[in-house]
Chains A and B, each alone.
Chain A
Amino acid sequence: MSDDLTRISAAALADRLQAGEVSSVEATRAHLDRIAAVEPAVHAFLHVSDEDALATAADVDARRAAGETLHPLAGVPIAVKDVVVTRGVPTTAGSKILEGWVPPYDATLVERIKAAGLPILGKTNMDEFAMGSSTEHSAYGNTHNPWDLERIPGGSGGGSAAAVGAYEAPLAIGTDTGGSIRQPAAVTGTVGVKPTYGSVSRYGLIALASSLDQAGPVTRTVLDSALLHELIGGHDPRDSTSIAEPLPDLVGAARLGANGDLSGVRVGVITELQGEGYQAGVLARFHESLGLLERAGAEIVEVSCPHFTYALAAYYLILPAEASSNLAKFDGMRFGLRVEPSEGPVTAERVMAATRGQGFGDEVKRRIILGTYALSAGYYDAYYGSAQKVRTLIQRDFSAAFAQADVLVSPTAPTTAFKLGEKLDDPLAMYLNDVATIPANLAGVPGLSLPAGLSDDGLPVGFQVLAPAKADDRLYRVGAALEALLENEWGGPLLAQAPELEVAR
């Protein structure tokens, strides 16, 4: 086992903390040192909370020494995406309009993290208000993919994925509205889970699209995701869309899956999420993984979801429509930036327009205007109304597919990480990155991405597993099984094949 506390999984670190072999202060300091060393190159964090993290760690160590029974993950450090509000810690959602804003309350998932005693290392970079697939739409600079610093780390949660991939944190929180947890996981060789809609509370998430948003775990192993999902998930009375039922046994499912036996499990391959537009190396790794699942006893069936080809179009009407409403609160009155017009009367309406003109970036303006247009008189039925009907058709596709298979699988993203700047001037090309992840959000079903190997270009490929709503445990069983089978072939985790980062000393 590695002596470097930043290289081991959260589960392994938790074991060593519980056994008293290491202290949380040591583990937290090791990660803060790693952050200091690689951040100049990676830029995964927008804010690092050294003092708070070490204070939490010291408190956990003292309570453990006093014999208190603690949460299994107590003392394991974590990074939180900057779209999640954290009391007393700056929260910007990657936007200039919230620069310097210090929230007066904690998101429910942050309350749970704090109650369990996980030191929060800081806030991670993201596309502004989670709009993007490359983190290039952050107002605070690019995050770089640890596999190749010239390439994108995915988005919108590129900061969380890069932090975990660069060993700056063993655990991170992401949010996934159309793929923002899973696609960054795919292109950085890490694991990410979008839980069932309502599985994790949305209270305290700065909303992008309320009917699509879902927070979830970003980790390096499937078991770590299950541990974190169980910590942050479960009913929350403060979120009226939160599911008022206990979570399935996620950690148990991950441990069961790790034995590598999938006898009797029906795995459905989605016809529409492969082929044209998918990189050859991505498809090659996908099909190799299917072979491993089959050898583990799974039955592979082909399923068709004919309306998935319309998912991207429906998503880019529903998301902007909801976002245009949610982001109306950024009016320069109660929080964040206020800009007064340079000439003419200073009225609330003109201040709002000036503030938003200066405070929002290009992609946010694009989507708010698109959403406002889609909802405006005369266009509502043709655009937003039609998109909602497509949503019904996609949900029916899922129902039919899950009648034939226990889980559905596809490549997570059609390509590996592209170069920074490559798609910045072509919004439609950027949107295509999420073609395989979006259907799950439209239907509310859970999805997981895990590394499936390297493409011809030497960059990580993601394998996506989808399950029916509230059956998140299936993701963990199948995901952990495939992870064990692949790591057996590779002789260790895929991330061990990533180049070592140049570190600042």
Chain B
Amino acid sequence: MSTLSRDEVARVAGLARIDLTPDELDRLAGELDVIVESVARVSEIATPDVPATSHPLPLTNVFRADVPEPPVDRDAVLAAAPAARDGKFLVPQILGEDA
């Protein structure tokens, strides 16, 4: 089946939002190529007549009672955040300059 090129790994790492060094890209491209080739054999037995299963046990949707519960303590959550101000998470600018 397909081979996973260095460029393809770089593209997918971008989608996954992971910065990789050039060395990491070289190594991952080689390793992932071998792994993908190995796992691709699932298609040998995945014929159209076989239904897909996403979950181990049959599930039905469940609802909890519509009763208010105390939320997790806000200050404890913010204390564990990288940055906070005025009772809120402090984050970098969301949009790039050209947006």
Chain A contacts to B: CB under 8 angstroms = 101-105, 196-198, 211-212, 237, 240-241, 243-244, 307, 310, 313-314, 316-317, 324, 328, 331-338, 340-341, 345-354, 356-358, 360, 362, 365-366, 368-370, 372-373, 376, 379, 382-383, 385-393, 395, 427-428, 441-445, 469
Contacts and interface: CB of A to CB of B under 8 A. Distances in A.
A357 B18 CA distance: 5
Interface in B4-39: 4, 8-9, 12-21, 24, 28, 31-32, 34-36, 38-39
Given A369-B32, A386-B42, A356 B56 contact: no
A447 B93 CA distance: 48
A245 B16 CA distance: 39
Interface size class of B (residues with CB under 8 A): 35 or more
B1 to A, nearest CB: 8
A451 to B, nearest CB: 27
Nearest to A240: B62
Interface of B: 1-2, 4, 8-9, 12-21, 24, 28, 31-32, 34-36, 38-47, 50-57, 59, 61-62, 64, 72-73, 76-77, 79-83, 89, 91-97
B57 A198 contact: yes
Q: Report whether over half of chain B's contact residues are helix, strand or loop; otherwise say mixed.
A: loop
A349 B96 contact: yes
A349 B2 CA distance: 30
A331 B8 CA distance: 23
B80 A104 contact: yes
A101 B64 contact: no
Contact of B42 (A101, A317, A336, A345): A317
Contact of A428 (B38, B73, B82): B38
Contact of B46 (A341, A350, A386): A386
A363 B15 CA distance: 18
Contact of A356 (B17, B24, B31, B39): B17
Contacts of B89: 333-334
A102 B73 CA distance: 13
Contacts of B95: 347
